[in-house]
């Protein structure tokens, strides 16, 4: 059972793009914002974006699968509840080592947590991911 819900409405993606906090890494971009829901679910919501810039359909599908797998591994530990996240695949996502994708996602999630909690934590320093 996943520890997150999936974003599907375009309005959620647009809201994140316009007013969310963004962290860019070599293999992905993570956008985050506090959930705009009236009822708090206690679970984060996640959306995935892959553009035609990164390749044809099979490349975009592979990138989405890799991002979903990294999300399944890391979100229960690092994601903040009642937040909305969008993961944007980059050109390097397809051929990058899966450990690199996981490390980048972990770094981005820690940066988001530090930004919203006000803590001055260096996310790169505390990288403890092991696949």
Tens of pLDDT, residue by residue over 74-103, are: 998 999 988 999 999 999 999 999 999 999
How far apart, in whole angstroms, are the C-alpha atoms of residue 74 and residue 42? Answer: 16
Phi and psi, residue 94, nearest 5° = -65, -45
CB 93 within 8 A of CB 66: yes
Specify the CATH architecture of the domain 5-107: 2-Layer Sandwich (3.30)
| Token representation of residue 53 | 């810039």
Model pLDDT for residues 2-11, shown as the tens digit of each residue: 667 888 889 8
């Amino acid at each position: 059972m996943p520890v997150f819900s999936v974003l599907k409405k375009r309005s959620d993606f647009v809201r994140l793009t316009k007013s969310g906090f963004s962290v860019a890494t070599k293999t992905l971009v993570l956008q985050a914002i506090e959930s705009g829901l009236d009822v708090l679910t206690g679970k984060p919501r996640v959306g995935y974006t892959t553009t035609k810039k990164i390749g044809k359909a099979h490349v975009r599908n592979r990138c989405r699968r890799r991002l979903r797998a990294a999300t399944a591994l890391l979100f229960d530990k690092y994601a903040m509840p009642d937040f909305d996240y969008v993961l944007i695949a980059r050109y390097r996502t397809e051929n990058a080592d899966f450990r690199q994708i996981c490390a980048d996602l972990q770094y981005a999630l820690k940066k988001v947590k530090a930004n919203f909690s006000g803590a001055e934590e260096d996310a790169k320093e505390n990288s403890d991911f092991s696949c």
